[in-house]
Structure 1
Amino acid sequence: MTSAESVGPTGPAEPAGRGSKDFDLGRLLAERGAERYGLHTRYLNHQLPRMLHTIGFDKVYERAEGAYFWDEDGLDYLDMLAGFGVMGLGRHHPVVRKALHDVLDASLADLTRFDCQPLPGLLAERLLGHAPHLDRVFFGNSGAEAVETALKFARYATGKPRVVHCTHGFHGLTTGSLSVNGEECFRAGFAPLLPDTAIALGDLEALERELRRGDVAAFIVEPVQGKGVHAAPPGFLLAAQHLLRRHKALLISDEVQTGLGRTGDFFAYQHEEGVEPDLVCVAKALSGGYVPVGATLGRDWIFRRVYSSMDRVLIHSASFGGNAQAMAAGLATLAVLEDEGIVANARHTGDLLRSRLAALVDRYELLHDVRGRGLMIGIEFGRPKSLVLRSRWTMLQAARKGLFAQMVVVPLLQRHRILTQVSGDRLEVIKLIPPLIIGEREVDRFVTAFTEVMDDAHSGGGLLWDFGRTLVKQAVVER
């Protein structure tokens, strides 16, 4: 001790905050937890509670475990959304939970900025074991940040400015990731963005046409698009890879949602033999559902070009990147995926759920398609043939596309306590991305509930269409 201010009357001063009794998280939640929707309305995005109230999703969930929530009355809800794919292992997996307790108890000298802690290297080593053609990893804090990293690295490594992406693709909402976002509803009003060009998923001719211009740094693609759940056509990724290499451009595979077992392989690009992306973006499920983390995997030469000298050692960095809690969660998540057969379960259970839903297509004229891979499944609705149903469908479509899918999502929650989502803006598609740990019991529960909702939709009356009229009125008011 060199400063008198740091020494108390009988020795070193107690560190600031230690022993404080002012903060009690449990007490705070007990006293003010009931204010949750009011607090959000006043201080956060005021449209979220408004939307939840309109569709009856303003529930109060008290606890969660695995693939289930429980509300204040003790009723269970099946989670077929997994926090937009974050909860790949379900909620509060004991292995991940213990790893976080352990890393906190270890009191590591974390984020000193000028040392090399072991956990980031260990997680990078384990991740790269699932992509043996790649060599290095950059750790950030989210999927959008993983995409931003890939875009920056591709542009710097190739010396080219433009990135090609796919219509209806989704890669994040920060400015760079928004530039390669194929949904105009997210882009509108935020220009100017980075130079970009959108092509249809599977359009090799369009990709080659853009590459011939000579200014394309990379092509970024989701092997299975989240918006609408459309898989790349067979052979497309490999053919695109050949074109990109011929024109000295890079292939970026966005595996933020599809990675870590979601589609029945560890990475979704691995469904097509020979595909070896130059950069791979990972996030969501890597967190174990606890600590935000993003990772960009890439080839050695790309990293060496970006970090070409000691002067450039911090040319791309993240203040919280590689923090001990995130790395511990990631390591525990990979251990669970490997040790508990989670990827194989996603493949088996996904095939079962998809086949049982597909068997209903001929039974219901409003149900047009069931598609996907593993536990990433799209259920698409379309124009019916019978006159009564067709007139009601037309009414909904005139007000706003996507309302019928919303009509199905709501009773799944209200009547059957199953949480799902509409796949995208103005899409008549429900996307199922449940925790990868679900099994036959959850498949039975969902198919039974979905069948009952479809029966109601085709009955010619009932509460479902009454709710449809409510949605139409709301859509007209919004417009």
Structure 2
Amino acid sequence: MDIVSLVKNRLEETYDLHRRYINPQFVRVLEVIGFNRNYTSSKGAYLYDADGRKVLDFLAGFGVFNIGRNHPLVAKVLHEMLDADPPNMVQMDLGGISGLLAEALTAVAPGDLDAVFFTNSGAESVEGALKFARQATRRHKVVHCAHAFHGLTLGALSVNGNREFRDRNEPLLPGCIQVPFNDLDALEQALAGGDVAAFIFEPIQGKGVFVPDDDYLPGARALCDRFGTLMIADEVQTGFGRTGKMFAVDHWNVVPDIMAVSKALSGGFVPIGAVITKRAIHARVFDSMERCFAHSNTFGQNDLAMAAGLATLHVLQSEALVERAAEVGDYLLAGLREKIGRYEMLHEVRGRGLMIGLQFGEPKSLSLKTGWKLVHKMNADLFGQMITMPLMEKHHILSQVAGHGLDTVKILPPLVIDREEADLFLNAMEDVLQDVHRFPGAAWSTTKKMAVRTLQSA
């Protein structure tokens, strides 16, 4: 079977096949916003489509490709593993390579996190973390934050702070309590009963790129210690160098009791995730031979995922990508913040490292205010597309809207970018912002066309 030729020969059928067999509504979305390109290859920070266009990837698979797309070292390691005919997933045995990756993860994890359980995704890591906390404490309540995103399986969804994802799924897991993000008083009130198993949080929230005050996470750590609550850090998107530290909690020198990771760990080659925790907590879950399978899965320790994880950690460290994320991230943040005073709809730029959110808001000038209100009357989520669509159509840069109804554009470029790619984005954003601040103008026309396409495809 020549799979490469098969895909190439039927590439033009991609959207029809997805429309027929997978998710026709997502096909409609891509067609309406003009993101319907057939990509044929990728390398580093770039995607290449069937029309020969080169696209700068500032989405990185929602943060999967921290080391860039198709990194040659990870590909080489995977080829070597396949050629070695490994004794993969014997199940009633131990995988040697999974022990090596567990050792490597505990070496880079904060503090005394020294026990690992492997998973296949971020949502599964969150599910495992919640189970570990409930079993270790013998409590069932979990506190989570508004705007939090922890995954879309039912347990993870129960601690998801976004209404649009919870709809049609309730009742969810009982005992889940929502508090405002970055509010220590609300967290103290929620924990004060001494009956909460865990407080789960994203160090920097992915939906909106909300960064906490410097005293929030240290204060939350103290509150969890005071009330006997375990602290779960969801580092699924913020981990492995994304924010300019190996893990985002390192910015505040906070050591959680349990950490959920995934996304970037395999370099984007193989689904992988992990729950990294303290040995004492792990021992309360797996506390006897009869309970050696108190939590388990089939594919978690598969050899290809483990090999990709080891290779990815090596790349992050040998190529100093964490440090590069901090340096290039500071450069991007400074360049974007310089634009705030010159463009009245750009209200704030927030983030750490290469996880950055651009917050837009209502302008003061009368003409722009008219356009702003008109767009939001059409659709509360439409304005962000006025930024991302011309970035793609005119400048060939892939980005995303950060969340429903937030007027926030988010960038998550691979950590391999340098100042040249940063300047490409800054110059493109300057051009897009100029258009958006001319009413009527090209950006507003693009939005009108999108609205028409939406009505026509309904």
Instruction: Classify the TM-score, shorter chain.
Output: over 0.9
C-alpha offsets along residues 221-251 of structure 1, whole Å, 9 cap, x if unaligned?
A: 1000001101121111111111111111100
Change (3 A) 1:359 1:204: same
1:76 aligned partner: 54
Letter in 1 for 2:303: A
Measure the CA separation in 1 of the matches of 2:100 and 2:425: 39
Q: CA deviation at 1:474?
A: 6.4
Measure the CA separation in 2 of the matches of 1:472 and 1:95: 44
Is it true that 1:272 corresponds to 2:247 in the alignment? no
2:238 aligned partner: 258
Q: 2:437 aligns with which of 458, 464, 469?
A: 458
Is it true that 1:202 corresponds to 2:182 in the alignment? yes
Q: 2:112 aligns with which of 133, 137, 149?
A: 133
Letter in 1 for 2:366: L
Is it true that 1:307 corresponds to 2:286 in the alignment? yes
Measure the CA separation in 2 of the matches of 1:330 and 1:48: 30
1:230 aligned partner: 210
Is it true that 1:407 corresponds to 2:376 in the alignment? no
More divergent stretch after superposition (462-471 vs 279-288): 462-471
Measure the CA separation in 2 of the matches of 1:73 and 1:204: 52
Q: 1:336 aligns with which of 295, 311, 315?
A: 315
- 1:116 aligned counterpart, secondary structure: coil
Mapping of residues 25-104 of structure 1, within 5 Å: 25-104=3-82
Change (3 A) 1:118 1:255: same
- 1:467 aligned counterpart, secondary structure: helix
Measure the CA separation in 2 of the matches of 1:250 and 1:45: 38
Letter in 1 for 2:91: R
Measure the CA separation in 2 of the matches of 1:199 and 1:475: 36
On the 8 A contact 2:244/2:325 being kept in 1, the answer is yes
Mapping of residues 184-203 of structure 1, within 5 Å: 184-194=163-173, 195-203=175-183
Measure the CA separation in 2 of the matches of 1:336 and 1:47: 37
On the 8 A contact 1:68/1:76 being kept in 2, the answer is yes
C-alpha offsets along residues 89-128 of structure 1, whole Å, 9 cap, x if unaligned?
A: 1111111111111111111111000111111111111111
C-alpha offsets along residues 163-219 of structure 1, whole Å, 9 cap, x if unaligned?
A: 100000100000000000010100011011112111111111111111122321000
- 2:10 aligned counterpart, secondary structure: helix
More divergent stretch after superposition (206-215 vs 445-454): 206-215
Q: CA deviation at 1:24?
A: 1.9
Letter in 2 for 1:201: F
Q: CA deviation at 1:463?
A: 2.3
On the 8 A contact 1:287/1:329 being kept in 2, the answer is yes
1:15 aligned partner: none
- 1:378 aligned counterpart, secondary structure: strand
Matched length: 456
Measure the CA separation in 2 of the matches of 1:409 and 1:221: 28
Q: 2:100 aligns with which of 122, 127, 130?
A: 122
On the 8 A contact 2:345/2:360 being kept in 1, the answer is yes
- 1:137 aligned counterpart, secondary structure: strand
- 2:232 aligned counterpart, secondary structure: strand
Q: CA deviation at 1:460?
A: 2.3
1:240 aligned partner: 220
1:19 aligned partner: none
Q: 2:155 aligns with which of 176, 187, 194?
A: 176
Gaps of 5+ in 1: 1-22
On the 8 A contact 2:68/2:416 being kept in 1, the answer is yes
Measure the CA separation in 2 of the matches of 1:436 and 1:311: 44
More divergent stretch after superposition (294-303 vs 467-476): 467-476
1:148 aligned partner: 127
Is it true that 1:359 corresponds to 2:365 in the alignment? no
Structure 1 residue ranges, 4+ long, deviating more than 6 angstroms after superposition: 474-479
On the 8 A contact 1:256/1:283 being kept in 2, the answer is yes
C-alpha offsets along residues 247-266 of structure 1, whole Å, 9 cap, x if unaligned?
A: 11100000000000000000
Q: Percent identity?
A: 49
Measure the CA separation in 1 of the matches of 2:186 and 2:456: 40
Measure the CA separation in 1 of the matches of 2:206 and 2:130: 20
Measure the CA separation in 2 of the matches of 1:440 and 1:156: 47
Letter in 2 for 1:35: E
C-alpha offsets along residues 351-399 of structure 1, whole Å, 9 cap, x if unaligned?
A: 0001001000011111111110000000011101111110000011122
1:325 aligned partner: 304
Measure the CA separation in 1 of the matches of 2:390 and 2:5: 35
Measure the CA separation in 1 of the matches of 2:368 and 2:453: 21
Measure the CA separation in 1 of the matches of 2:162 and 2:118: 27
- 2:322 aligned counterpart, secondary structure: helix
- 2:233 aligned counterpart, secondary structure: strand
Measure the CA separation in 2 of the matches of 1:94 and 1:477: 44
Change (3 A) 1:201 1:477: farther
TM-score (norm 2): 0.97
Gaps of 5+ in 2: none
More divergent stretch after superposition (140-149 vs 69-78): 69-78
Find the structure with the greater CA-based Rg.
Answer: 1
On the 8 A contact 2:32/2:454 being kept in 1, the answer is no
Letter in 2 for 1:369: E
Measure the CA separation in 2 of the matches of 1:26 and 1:100: 18
Measure the CA separation in 1 of the matches of 2:229 and 2:194: 9
